[in-house]
């Protein structure tokens, strides 16, 4: 009998659920309606029995992987779910479309908030996930949520229009069907890739474009199909194993890239002695560099599930926790640089000095260049995700280029990303 089948286990799960909901409320990630939904909806009902003990941890839980150990589906981190539900701005009676059913837990949270007078439609391309989600939704008392099996890129026109659309998989572009199925005054929240960095953004129509606000850094499993984008995957050593994902820019050759990451690192401090007070400031610097250095290629490491990675893979994975930047110099030497995360950054409770790691023949020079750019970021008031202005225009549009604004073309849209000139 698992933890769900005994009164002691049920009491323990209920107490853990209460602690999670309270922590989301106290942290400010969840307002009253969202925190109450986390308290009311049992996450453990949406997980396989062996994962129930982890149900109320504030972590993402992988529920399905492919033959190479890459995650196909997961129950997202509750804190990130709360943030996106707040971005969505849900109210009782609203009609909501979710792209990416997963376990069905998020659909249940939405159903709890919009109530019996509202409606929830959720779609996923994996038939087994949809079947299990239907069963879990019914078991948790949310059978009224409609789970559909199909390609989420097309939305679910049969139940449109919607007041809100939420995408729970990483996307490279906003599918026009999602926007078309939104009612007047509607809002869509999606984790969109901007130069290889995923940002959960709430978009609303603003004249000739969709204006994004409330951007928050995130990391979701990529959506299958055109909306995921044409990212290049570069294998790192024997496969199945770690790979480098390149979203924009030329992909480095696999051999030199693997050799660089396997070799020693050169530490390059920021000349001004720049200090950061937490991982949030480092991720803001990473985002700023990605958008203001368009000639560099940005890399993210992806790979096998953590428990299956060997020691060498774990060592390489730890070298680019926030992603890295690659560049071939005039001599054709590959350089790779990544922000260093100072040991004990969050635990120390005091600012620590920022630095970059350089890998490969051109790594030290590239790390030095980025260290100089970090001084400019600091001088501009440390712009980051919170102040980022992101607009999505129809394909073929030519948005006005301004200082500090990057224009990125996608098949269905044109993205304009940057900060106010005062930032």
DSSP, residue by residue, 79-109: HHHHHHHHHHT--TT-EEEEE--TTSHHHHH
227 sits in the region (left: phi over 0; alpha: psi -120 to 50; else beta) called alpha
Q: Is pLDDT above 50 for 1?
A: no
Q: Is pLDDT above 80 for 163?
A: yes
Distance between CA atoms of 310 and 312, rounded to whole angstroms? Answer: 6
SS3 label, residue 67: coil
Q: Is pLDDT above 60 for 283?
A: yes
- Residues designated catalytic: 73
Distance between CA atoms of 200 and 79, rounded to whole angstroms? Answer: 13
Q: Is pLDDT above 60 for 260?
A: yes
How high is the mean pLDDT of the chain? 90
Q: Among 107-111, 305-309, 393-397, which stretch is predicted with the lowest mean pLDDT?
A: 305-309
Q: What is the pLDDT of residue 290?
A: 93
Measured CA to CA in angstroms, residue 260 lies from 192, 255, 282, 317 at distances of: 29, 9, 23, 13
Candidates 3.40.50.150, 3.40.50.11400, 3.40.50.720, 3.50.50.60; correct CATH number of 60-227? 3.40.50.150
Instruction: Write down the pTM of the prediction.
Output: 0.90
More confident residue, 315 or 272: 272
pLDDT in tens, 38-77: 999 999 999 999 999 999 999 999 999 887 777 889 999 9
Where residue 226 falls among pLDDT bands split at 50, 70, 90? low
What percentage of the chain reaches a pLDDT higher than 70?
A: 93
More confident residue, 226 or 31: 31
In the chain, % helix, strand, coil (3-state, to 5) comes to 35, 30, 35
Q: Where are the domains of the chain?
A: 60-227, 231-379
* Interval 329-356 mean pLDDT: 84
SS3 label, residue 305: coil
pLDDT in tens, 2-46: 545 444 478 899 999 999 999 999 999 999 999 999 999 999 999
């Amino acid at each position: 009998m698992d933890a769900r089948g005994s009164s002691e286990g049920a009491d323990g799960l209920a107490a853990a659920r209460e602690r999670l909901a309270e922590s989301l409320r106290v942290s400010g990630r969840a307002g009253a309606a969202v925190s109450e939904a986390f308290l009311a909806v049992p996450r453990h009902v949406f997980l396989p029995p062996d994962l129930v003990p982890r149900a109320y941890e504030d972590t993402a839980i992988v529920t399905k992987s492919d033959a190479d150990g890459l995650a196909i589906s997961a129950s997202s981190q509750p804190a990130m779910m709360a943030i996106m539900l707040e971005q969505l701005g849900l109210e009782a009676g609203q009609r909501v479309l979710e792209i990416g059913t997963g376990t069905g837990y998020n659909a249940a949270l939405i159903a709890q908030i919009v109530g019996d007078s509202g409606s929830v439609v959720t779609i996923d391309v994996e038939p087994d996930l949809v079947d299990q989600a239907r069963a879990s939704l019914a078991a948790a008392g949310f059978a009224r949520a409609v789970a559909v099996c199909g390609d989420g890129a097309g939305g679910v026109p049969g139940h449109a229009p919607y007041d809100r659309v939420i995408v729970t998989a990483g996307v490279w572009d906003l599918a026009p069907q999602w926007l078309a199925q939104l009612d007047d005054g509607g809002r869509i929240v999606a984790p969109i890739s901007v130069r290889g960095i995923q940002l959960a953004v709430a978009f609303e129509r603003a004249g000739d474009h969709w204006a994004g606000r409330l951007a928050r850094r995130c990391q979701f499993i990529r959506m299958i199909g055109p909306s995921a984008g044409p990212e290049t995957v570069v294998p790192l050593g024997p496969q199945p194993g770690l790979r480098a994902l390149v979203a924009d820019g030329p992909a480095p050759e696999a051999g030199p890239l693997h050799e660089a990451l396997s070799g020693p690192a050169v530490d390059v401090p920021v000349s001004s002695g720049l200090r950061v007070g937490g991982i949030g400031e480092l991720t803001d610097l990473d985002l700023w560099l990605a958008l203001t250095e368009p000639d560099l290629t940005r890399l993210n490491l992806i790979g096998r599930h953590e428990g299956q990675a060997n020691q060498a893979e774990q060592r390489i994975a730890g070298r680019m926790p926030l992603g890295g930047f690659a560049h071939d110099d005039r001599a054709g030497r590959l350089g790779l640089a990544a922000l260093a995360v100072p040991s004990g950054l969050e635990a120390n409770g005091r600012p620590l000095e920022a630095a970059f790691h350089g890998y490969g023949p051109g790594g030290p020079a590239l790390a030095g260049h980025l260290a100089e750019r970090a001084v400019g970021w600091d001088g501009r008031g440390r712009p980051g995700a919170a102040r980022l202005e992101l607009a999505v225009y129809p394909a073929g549009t030519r948005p006005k280029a301004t200082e500090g604004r990057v224009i990125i073309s996608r098949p269905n849209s044109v993205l304009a990303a940057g900060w106010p000139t005062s930032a």
